[in-house]
């Protein structure tokens, strides 16, 4: 940037030096992000100090990558190391959101394509009556991953301490996350993290207990790669369509992810979970045990 004298700069000259429009400078002044160094009380003209150029250029760069004004304020008003950390946290979040949007674009493309969505293998099974220890909470998508991991830790610690469950998740001793509705950044729903166990225990703290009846379940197995969002949406669509074609959902037993191993430790091509829908097969009575 060319050197300037330590004098007041007209808004036009300051705009030229910082590559910001007059409209943007007025906006940043009005919201306190980049107030003019001096405003002529008679004409209302704004004047800036050369020392404000660095802040102005940073604001312009941050706005070009879509940084919200509130985040820019936090970044620039913090100590340098803290400001860098705030920016890095926001940028990592933006990259994650972009990856999700890119994946959702592929999902939409597949649904719009004449070839349709990928073919999923749908299987069925009868799930025995199981006693579940669970933690439930209404939430939006950004909270989901931390809630699931924290809840599994809490439930396992409680059951292991009582000798009612071994540590870990296997096909013989699976764990669940049950979704009572769509969970998105804009829509919240009840989510239940469930660990089946054998024995007797009273509810404790946030942990509740219930008996889930024997039922039929349609499911599709997924590798760790296939279970990543938004690829997993294809599995939900496929199983839901199969259930509606071959029976009916059980209103009191929502769809779930049934984990058969510790997902964070699995390789991308390992079978890690099933997307499953409890259902009543064609010809079954809703009043009968299925």
Residue the block writes with tokens 């950044």:
185
- Per-residue pLDDT, 288: 38
When divided into structural domains, the chain yields a total of: 3
Cα(154)–Cα(138) distance, integer angstroms: 18
Residue 269 lies in a domain: yes
Same domain for 270 and 160? yes
pLDDT in tens, 54-71: 999 999 999 999 999 999
Instruction: For residue 208, give the nearest of 195, 199, 224 by alpha carbon.
Output: 195
Cα(193)–Cα(135) distance, integer angstroms: 5
- Per-residue pLDDT, 289: 35
Same domain for 273 and 165? yes
- Give me the domain span that covers residue 72: 9-77
Residue 226 has φ and ψ, to the nearest 5°, of -70, -20
Cα(165)–Cα(43) distance, integer angstroms: 77
Same domain for 249 and 148? yes
Cα(184)–Cα(63) distance, integer angstroms: 26
- Per-residue pLDDT, 284: 67
Question: What is the average per-residue pLDDT within 169-197?
Answer: 93
Question: What percentage of the chain reaches a pLDDT higher than 70?
Answer: 94
Confidence of residue 229 (pLDDT cuts 50, 70, 90): confident
Q: How many other C-beta atoms lie within 10 A of the C-beta of residue 123?
A: 13
State yes or no: pLDDT of 252 exceeds 60. Answer: yes
CATH number of the domain that residue 200 is part of: 3.20.80.10
Same domain for 236 and 270? yes
Q: 61: helix, coil or strand?
A: helix
Cα(48)–Cα(8) distance, integer angstroms: 5
Which of 77, 106, 132 represents a domain boundary (last residue)?
Answer: 77
Question: What is the average per-residue pLDDT within 204-210?
Answer: 92
Question: What is the average per-residue pLDDT within 103-125?
Answer: 77
Q: Which helix (H) or strand (E) holds 243?
A: helix 232-246
Greater confidence (103 vs 181) lies with: 181
Residue 289 lies in a domain: no
Confidence of residue 287 (pLDDT cuts 50, 70, 90): very low
Question: What is the average per-residue pLDDT within 132-158?
Answer: 94
Cα(13)–Cα(48) distance, integer angstroms: 9
Same domain for 111 and 18? no
Question: What is the average per-residue pLDDT within 228-233?
Answer: 84
Greater confidence (110 vs 236) lies with: 236
Cα(100)–Cα(221) distance, integer angstroms: 22
Confidence of residue 111 (pLDDT cuts 50, 70, 90): confident
Listed range (1-10, 39-48, 92-101, 197-206) with the worst mean pLDDT: 1-10
State yes or no: pLDDT of 218 exceeds 80. Answer: yes
Question: What is the average per-residue pLDDT within 227-252?
Answer: 90
- Per-residue pLDDT, 153: 94
Cα(179)–Cα(254) distance, integer angstroms: 6
Confidence of residue 114 (pLDDT cuts 50, 70, 90): confident
Residue 1 lies in a domain: no
Reported pTM:
0.67
Sequence-distant (6+) residues with CB within 8 A of 11 are 22, 25, 36, 45, 46, 47, 48
Greater confidence (102 vs 61) lies with: 61
Question: In this structure, which long-range contacts are made by residues 204-210, counting pairs with CB atoms below 8 Å and at least 24 apart in sequence?
Answer: 204/158, 205/154, 206/135, 206/151, 206/154, 207/133, 207/134, 207/135, 207/154, 207/155, 207/158, 208/133, 208/134, 208/135, 208/136, 209/131, 209/132, 209/133, 209/134, 210/131, 210/132, 210/134
- Per-residue pLDDT, 62: 94
Handedness of CA 44, 50, 51, 53 (dihedral sign): positive
């Amino acid at each position: 940037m060319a050197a300037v004298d330590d004098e007041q700069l007209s808004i036009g000259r300051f705009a030229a030096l910082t590559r910001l429009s007059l409209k943007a400078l007025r906006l940043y002044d009005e919201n306190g992000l980049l107030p003019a160094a001096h405003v002529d009380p008679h004409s209302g003209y704004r004047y800036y100090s050369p020392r404000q150029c660095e802040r102005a250029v940073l604001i312009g760069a941050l706005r070009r990558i879509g940084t919200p004004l509130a985040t820019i304020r936090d970044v620039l008003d913090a100590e340098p190391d803290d400001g860098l950390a705030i920016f890095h946290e926001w940028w990592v979040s933006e990259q994650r959101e972009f990856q999700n949007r890119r994946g959702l674009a592929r999902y939409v493309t597949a649904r719009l394509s004449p070839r349709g969505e990928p073919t999923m293998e749908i299987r069925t099974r009868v799930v025995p009556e199981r006693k579940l220890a669970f933690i439930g909470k209404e939430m939006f998508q950004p909270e989901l991953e931390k809630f699931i991991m924290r809840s599994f830790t809490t439930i396992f610690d409680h059951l292991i301490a009582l000798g009612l469950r071994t540590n870990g998740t296997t096909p013989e001793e699976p764990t669940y996350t049950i979704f009572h509705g769509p969970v998105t950044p804009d829509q919240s729903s009840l989510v239940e993290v469930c660990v089946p166990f054998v024995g007797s225990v009273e509810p404790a703290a946030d942990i509740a207990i219930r008996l889930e009846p024997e039922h039929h379940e349609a499911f599709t197995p997924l590798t760790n790669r296939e279970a990543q969002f938004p690829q997993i949406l294809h599995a939900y669509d496929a199983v839901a369509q199969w259930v509606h074609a071959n029976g009916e959902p059980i209103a009191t037993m929502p769809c779930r992810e049934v984990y058969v191993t510790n997902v964070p430790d699995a390789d991308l091509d390992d079978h890690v979970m099933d997307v499953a829908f409890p259902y009543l097969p064609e010809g079954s009575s809703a009043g009968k045990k299925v």
